[in-house]
């Protein structure tokens, strides 16, 4: 039995799948603690689950469980006892080893499914940008069971990125839905062009530092512009160890934003 945490129960289950390399159907999940968002970020707690790996059930060629053989007559039992025992050359299979083999096989199937969906997803992105009048190419760079990174190239990268990254973030949402529709469970997709994600990450670091300076100088909270969940998460992580400020999210999607306030 192992314990996993996540902001939601789904994230905790995903962490268990990635750590144990098994699918959801091979786990018995017990929720030990339900997640709670709290009020304005106060009183928030993660989801905690306990995971037990299910033992595989042996089945015959017809897909049914083998029936138990009836007891043999006493005479037959005596005759069998008198015969010398023949040792079988077949090795007994450890149930835990069988589980690991099945998990590895499922992992390879998930990777094969992702590879196939990745190629179709690249075609989908190129066609979508073409419909917007933007010529581009798409190349997958990282392919894992539930994770995919695609790099776009275009002579007009600004049209792909859009104002404050709105277009590339929208394309990322559409591509994630495309992967889910084609059988990739809970895909984690990242779209990038001209190292936009890295440059945006550096911008968020500078923004976080400026917010801390303003909050300390004025004693007032700073309300940032709405941004995607990925960028809000990065700001929370950048400032979570700073004891002089606190952060929480405000508003509803797609206008949800981060607030940096003085620590009480």
Q: Rounded to an integer, what distance in angstroms lies between the CA atom of residue 222 and that of residue 201? A: 19
- Residue with token string 């933007």: 134
Quote the pTM value.
0.57
**Fold adopted by 198-262:** Ribosomal Protein S8; Chain: A, domain 1 (3.30.1370)
Give me the DSSP letters along 192-207: ESTTHHHHHHHHHHHH
Residue 124 near residue 140 (C-beta atoms within 8 A):
no
Q: Rounded to an integer, what distance in angstroms lies between the CA atom of residue 24 and that of residue 10? A: 10
Task: Return the CATH superfamily for domain 101-194.
Answer: K homology (KH) domain (3.30.300.20)
Residue 40 near residue 26 (C-beta atoms within 8 A):
no
Residue 15 near residue 41 (C-beta atoms within 8 A):
no
At 15, list the tokens: 């962490």
**What dihedral do alpha carbons 103, 105, 108, 113 form, nearest 10°?**
-100
Q: Which of 153, 127, 129 is nearest to 139 (CA)?
A: 153
Per-residue pLDDT tens listing for the chain (264 residues): 788 888 888 888 888 888 877 777 778 888 888 877 766 656 677 888 888 877 655 555 555 555 555 555 555 454 555 555 555 555 676 788 888 888 888 888 889 989 999 999 999 999 999 999 999 999 999 999 889 999 999 999 999 999 888 899 999 999 999 999 998 988 999 999 999 999 999 999 999 999 999 999 999 999 999 988 889 999 999 999 999 999 999 999 878 999 999 997
Domains of the chain: which residue ranges?
A: 2-53, 101-194, 198-262
């Amino acid at each position: 039995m192992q314990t996993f945490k996540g902001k939601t129960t789904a994230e905790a289950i995903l962490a268990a799948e990635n750590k144990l390399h098994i699918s959801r159907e091979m786990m018995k999940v017990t929720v030990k603690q339900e997640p709670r968002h709290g009020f304005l970020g106060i009183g928030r707690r993660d989801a905690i689950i306990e995971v037990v790996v299910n033992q595989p059930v042996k089945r015959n060629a017809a897909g049914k469980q083998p029936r138990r053989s009836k007891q043999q007559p006493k005479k037959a039992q005596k005759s069998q006892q008198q015969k010398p025992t023949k040792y079988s050359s077949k090795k007994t299979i450890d149930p835990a080893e069988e589980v690991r083999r099945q998990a590895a096989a499922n992992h390879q199937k998930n990777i094969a499914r992702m590879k196939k969906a990745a190629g179709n997803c690249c075609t989908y992105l190129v066609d979508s940008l073409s419909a917007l009048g933007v010529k581009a190419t798409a190349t997958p760079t990282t392919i894992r069971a539930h994770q995919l990174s695609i790099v776009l190239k275009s002579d007009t990268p600004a049209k792909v990125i859009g104002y404050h990254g709105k277009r590339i973030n929208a394309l990322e949402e559409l591509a994630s839905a495309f992967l889910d529709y084609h059988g990739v469970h809970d895909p984690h997709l990242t779209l990038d062009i001209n190292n936009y994600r890295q440059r945006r990450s550096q911008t968020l670091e500078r923004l976080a530092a400026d917010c801390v300076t303003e909050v300390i100088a004025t004693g007032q909270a700073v309300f940032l512009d709405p941004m995607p969940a990925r960028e809000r998460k990065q700001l929370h992580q950048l400032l979570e160890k700073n004891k002089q400020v606190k952060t929480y999210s405000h508003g509803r999607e797609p206008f949800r934003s981060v607030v940096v306030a003085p620590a009480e």
